[in-house]
Structures are given as C-alpha cells and as structure tokens.
A and B are shown apart, each in its own frame.
Chain A
Amino acid sequence: MTLDEKQQEIIDEFAIYDDWMDKYEYIIELGKELPIISDENKTDDKLIEGCQSRVWLHTDVVDGKMSFTADSDAIITKGIIGLLIRVLNNEDPKEVATAELRFIDEIGLHEHLSPTRSNGLASMVKKLKLSAIAATS
C-alpha cells in the first residue's frame, strides 16, 4: 500500500462516524491498544514538551525505510500518533519528507496538529519530517 492509500484507508474508516464522540472513541481505542515506544526510548532527549501533553519520539532508518516509535502521556494524542505512524512507517525517507498529511484534515483532526494546540503533535510531525530529510541526504 502506498502512503496515500494508507491515508485513504484511514479516511474511509472514519467516514462511518458522524458523531464526534464516536470518532474519539475510536482514537482512544487506538491509543489504548498501542504500546508504541519501548521504555528505553522514553527518555528525556526524546521528549517533546507540549504545554498540555508530552510526546516522546524515536526515529530510525531500517533497511532504507523510516521507522518511528512514539508515545504520549495523553491518550488522545497517543491515538493520533498511532495514525501518523501507520501512515509514515516503513516508507522511503523521501516520501515521508514530502508527505502531505491530508487525512488529518479530512477526518477533522486538524486542530490537534495546530501549533497553538500545544499538545506536542505539531512539533512531533516537524521532527519526524526533519529526520526523514536527514535520512535522504
């Protein structure tokens, strides 16, 4: 599946929910299910301080593909991280660096990626992309 097909898959999954609370129910379930970072990577140098919630991000390149793990102390933030990772993991660095994350807008979660939300997600995406750019050079 291409990066964009993965985005479309998520958009389709969310299309069945017309109620906000149902959408969040789903995101929270994702957040609960995912043990997305190992404790040895949950260190202060991996920490992105948001004003409200905190995010840990660990990036790697495995066999030429980007590999991310991340976590947050807030479960909604964690669920959204799960979605981002599903889209961006195992992709070429170049793809990740230039990826347009349209699914976030389309499922109505753009507010979470706004820098003013101060949940650390906007900085996380920035760092993620920077690490992909670094891996292309």
Chain B
Amino acid sequence: MIRDDISIPFDVQKIREDFPTLLRSVNGKDLVYFDNGATSQKPQVVIDAINDYYTNNNSNIHRGVHFLSQLATSQYEEARKIIQEYINAPLSEEVLFTKGTTDSINLVASSLGELFSEGDEIIISAMEHHSNIVPWQMLCERKGCILKVIPISESGELKMDEFDRLLSNKTKLVSVTHISNTLGTINPIEEIIKKTHAAGGYVMIDGAQSVQHIPVDVQALDCDFFAFSGHKVFGPTGVGILYGKKEILDQMPPYQGGGDMIAKVTFEKTTYNELPHKFEAGTPNISGGICLGTAISYLSEMDLSAIHAHEMELAAYAEEKLLQFEGMRIVGTAQRKTSVVSFVVDGIHPFDVGTLLDKQGIAVRTGHHCTQPLMDFYQIPGTIRASFAFYNTKEEIDVFIKALERSLNMLR
C-alpha cells in the first residue's frame, strides 16, 4: 500500500481530543473505555460529517437529476473510492457497501453459496465469531455442504498442520478471521490464502478486528473476499464493507432484489445492474457510507505503525500488571497478537467483575464475545476482555488495574 511518509508524531493526548465520548464520566467516574473490540468511539470529524449530511446534503442517491441527489451520490461514491484506496482494492466496484461484517458474510454465504453443491466443503476455524459460523451452517443445511473447523492450540493459534489435512479439492471456500476478537490472535492468512488457492478454493477474510489495527492490502493478500464493519473503525454503525474480486462477484447471483440493483424490470424478465449496484438493493445507509469514508480518511492520516506500536505497548503493560494478581489467567497467548487482553480469574465469575468495573467507570466486555465454541474449547463461561484502541493510555490501565484490585478483593 502506498502511504505518505509525512508521519505525524504520535501524541495520544492530542488524539483523545478528537473523541468527545472519551471525555464523559460514567457513574461519577471518568470513563475508561476498553471495549473497542465491540465498537470504537467516533472522532468529531465523523460526528460532524453525519450532522452535515443530514443538515445540508440529505437526498436519495443514484436516482435524481436534481442538485442534492447528485451531491449525495458523488459523496457516496467518493467514500467508496476512499475505502477502495485504503484497502488497495483494484477497482471501486469491487467495494460493496453492506450493513456490516455480518451482512457481508451473509451476502457471500447466500450468493456465492448458490453456486455450491452437495458434498462441497467449507472450512472455518475454532476461533470464529458467531457471524462467521452461523451463515455457513445455514448454507450447509440448505445445500448439503460440509463444514470443517480448523482446531486451535491452547495458546489460541490455528493448528496449521490440521488445516493442511482439512484442505482438499473438495474445499470450495475457507472463511477465517484475520484477528480473533476474543483472543487477539493474528492469523497467518497469507499462508491460508496461498494454500487454499493452490487447492482450488476461495478465501474469505473476516477483517472486523483488523483494519483498525494493521495495514490491509487486499491485492497483496490476494484474498477473494474481505469484510469489515464501519463502527469498529471509528465510523458509524449500520454500514460495512465487502470487498470481492470482480471476476467472482460477476459470477455470483444477486443477494437481494429491489431498486438500484436492476438494469431493467419487466414481469417476464428482469436484468441486473452492474457491480457494485447488483449487490446493493434498495436505498442504502447513505449517511453511513459517506461518513465511513470520513472515518477511513481520518484513519489514513494516522501512522498505522505508530498506532500498532502504541497499542502493543498498552497490551504488554496491561498483561504485565494483570499477571501480578493471584489466580490470573490470560486467555490467548499467541505469538502474533493485537491489543486484546482476555482474562479469567480463578473462582471469580467474569460477570461480577464486569459489573463492579462498570460502577468504577470502566467499560470492558465480559461473556463469551459471540464465540461460544471457543469458550467451550477453554471450558470457561466467558472472559473479561479489555481491548485497546490508539486513544487509550497507560494511565487508564493504571486506573483499571486499581479498580480490578478493588473488585477482586470484594469478590474473594
């Protein structure tokens, strides 16, 4: 990916000023927001863009000849280009607006899945989010396909030798997460993509946890599909992206029928519009799409390697502090990880810890994180997960550790 080399020095206090939500208090305490894996906070530029769209530019797109419609359409298509450039997609029509990662995966399962037949195999992994499990199970039920699961090691890494064994000429598709939302593991997707292609299958990458943390170049990766959600990358909720290779998208039947996705409708026969519109039936989340463009522009002005270094420093600091507690167990200790720290404490229920941390102004996630099979693997009811973004600080971790200490003392 080509990026400007004029990297701005990383100043976390300055960055925090961009995010008004971080300044609020919760339960009488300054908010410490460590639930970035669930959703990110929004910078003021995104909030302003939403406001600006509805205040000044609101109109339906792709339909009107009038000024506002043209304006909104060009803003929406401009956003598509910004996102195309960010993930280095070859063509803008390969970048489809969806409702989010879940919707993107369902689109592929429904549409590409139509081309699958009985006995075809789909491979996922043991650390997938429910949204990268259930659509494939539904497809298997519909089409008689077979779902295979790459197992993981205790540290939370894919067992690649097992993957090699599962992969065969029956494999139609491998769909795996780039980064685990529960464990933080960064998966070796380059290797998965190469091997799957060699075996003749397609690869879909769930990028819900990656675009905001590490550079993603879909051409260098050579993945066939890549999905992510706007709300996790500092953009609005209800909008997301599916990147797909044109030659595959062209072969796929439409996902939903309606306005915008058609070339010509008659009661005898309807012909479909070209990409990307073929997969974008109905009035989309126009404001969402435009403002996702704003969020990606914001992100692209930052130095991702500085972000990554800062986030990894936070995670290392948090893990070091956490391990000083008795009975502490970090869940997910892969070699390659992002800034997700999931943990359990002997004899203590995650729900109790989450409740007490909340009362001290700290937002973490507790529970199974929509990865129940993974919890079954570790034989735990859930974890407490702190997931950091670039706007978090070591001082916040200190506050969190103190609050955790107080909570554990109360619960023991």
Interface residues, chain A, CB within 8 Å of chain B? Answer: 20-21, 24-25, 28, 51-54, 73-77, 118-119
Q: How far is the CA of A119 from the CA of B355 in the complex (A)?
A: 11
| B359 pairs with A119, CB closer than 8 A | no
| A24 pairs with B410, CB closer than 8 A | yes
| A28 pairs with B351, CB closer than 8 A | no
| A25 pairs with B410, CB closer than 8 A | yes
| B351 pairs with A24, CB closer than 8 A | no
The interface residues of chain B lying within 8 Å CB-to-CB of A77 are: 351
Q: How many residues of B contact A (CB 8 A)?
A: 18
Query: In the complex, which of the residues B367, B406, B411 contacts A52, with contact meaning CB atoms closer than 8 Å?
Result: B367
Most A Cβ at <10 Å: residue of B352, B354, B381, B382: B352
Q: Shortest Cβ distance from B197 into chain A, in angstroms?
A: 38
Nearest chain B residue, comparing its CB with the CB of A23: B359
Most B Cβ at <10 Å: residue of A53, A77, A118, A119: A53
The interface residues of chain A lying within 8 Å CB-to-CB of B351 are: 52-53, 74, 76-77, 119
| A75 pairs with B411, CB closer than 8 A | yes
Nearest chain A residue, comparing its CB with the CB of B406: A21
Interface residues, chain B, CB within 8 Å of chain A? Answer: 27, 349-352, 354-356, 359-360, 366-368, 381-382, 406, 410-411
Q: Shortest Cβ distance from A98 into chain B, in angstroms?
A: 30
Query: In the complex, which of the residues A20, A74, A118 contacts B349, with contact meaning CB atoms closer than 8 Å?
Result: A74
The interface residues of chain A lying within 8 Å CB-to-CB of B411 are: 28, 75
The interface residues of chain A lying within 8 Å CB-to-CB of B349 are: 53, 73-75
In the A-B complex, list the 6 residue pairs whose CB atoms are closest, starting with the nearest. Answer: A74-B349, A20-B359, A74-B351, A52-B351, A53-B351, A76-B352
Nearest chain A residue, comparing its CB with the CB of B360: A21
* Given contact pairs A21-B360, A21-B406, A73-B349, a sample of 16 additional A-B residue pairs in the complex whose CB atoms are under 8 Å apart: A21-B356, A24-B356, A24-B359, A52-B350, A52-B366, A52-B382, A53-B349, A53-B351, A54-B381, A73-B381, A74-B352, A75-B352, A76-B351, A76-B352, A118-B367, A119-B351
| B367 pairs with A24, CB closer than 8 A | no
Q: How far is the CA of A74 from the CA of B352 in the complex (A)?
A: 6
The interface residues of chain B lying within 8 Å CB-to-CB of A74 are: 349, 351-352
Q: Shortest Cβ distance from A77 into chain B, in angstroms?
A: 7
The interface residues of chain A lying within 8 Å CB-to-CB of B368 are: 51
Q: How far is the CA of A52 from the CA of B359 in the complex (A)?
A: 17
Nearest chain A residue, comparing its CB with the CB of B370: A51
The interface residues of chain B lying within 8 Å CB-to-CB of A54 are: 381
Q: How far is the CA of A25 from the CA of B367 in the complex (A)?
A: 22
The interface residues of chain A lying within 8 Å CB-to-CB of B382 are: 52
Q: Shortest Cβ distance from A108 into chain B, in angstroms?
A: 10
Q: How far is the CA of A59 from the CA of B290 in the complex (A)?
A: 55
| 10 A–B contacts, CB within 8 A, in A order | A20-B359, A21-B360, A25-B410, A52-B350, A52-B367, A53-B349, A53-B351, A53-B381, A77-B351, A118-B367
Q: How far is the CA of A118 from the CA of B368 in the complex (A)?
A: 12
| A51 pairs with B367, CB closer than 8 A | yes
| B352 pairs with A21, CB closer than 8 A | no
Q: How far is the CA of A54 from the CA of B354 in the complex (A)?
A: 15
Query: In the complex, which of the residues B350, B367, B410 contacts A21, with contact meaning CB atoms closer than 8 Å?
Result: B410
The interface residues of chain A lying within 8 Å CB-to-CB of B352 are: 28, 74-76
Q: How far is the CA of A77 from the CA of B154 in the complex (A)?
A: 30
Q: How far is the CA of A84 from the CA of B272 in the complex (A)?
A: 60
Q: How far is the CA of A118 from the CA of B352 in the complex (A)?
A: 13
Q: How far is the CA of A25 from the CA of B381 in the complex (A)?
A: 23
Q: How far is the CA of A21 from the CA of B403 in the complex (A)?
A: 11
The interface residues of chain B lying within 8 Å CB-to-CB of A118 are: 367
Q: How far is the CA of A53 from the CA of B355 in the complex (A)?
A: 12
Q: Shortest Cβ distance from A18 into chain B, in angstroms?
A: 11
Q: How far is the CA of A9 from the CA of B266 in the complex (A)?
A: 72
Q: Shortest Cβ distance from A135 into chain B, in angstroms?
A: 31
Nearest chain B residue, comparing its CB with the CB of A31: B352
Q: How far is the CA of A51 from the CA of B319 in the complex (A)?
A: 26
The interface residues of chain A lying within 8 Å CB-to-CB of B367 are: 51-52, 118
Q: How far is the CA of A52 from the CA of B360 in the complex (A)?
A: 20
Q: How far is the CA of A73 from the CA of B366 in the complex (A)?
A: 14
Q: Shortest Cβ distance from B410 into chain A, in angstroms?
A: 6
The interface residues of chain A lying within 8 Å CB-to-CB of B356 are: 21, 24, 76
Q: How far is the CA of A76 from the CA of B411 in the complex (A)?
A: 9
Q: How far is the CA of A25 from the CA of B359 in the complex (A)?
A: 12
Q: How far is the CA of A92 from the CA of B72 in the complex (A)?
A: 64
Q: How far is the CA of A22 from the CA of B312 in the complex (A)?
A: 35
The interface residues of chain B lying within 8 Å CB-to-CB of A21 are: 356, 359-360, 406, 410
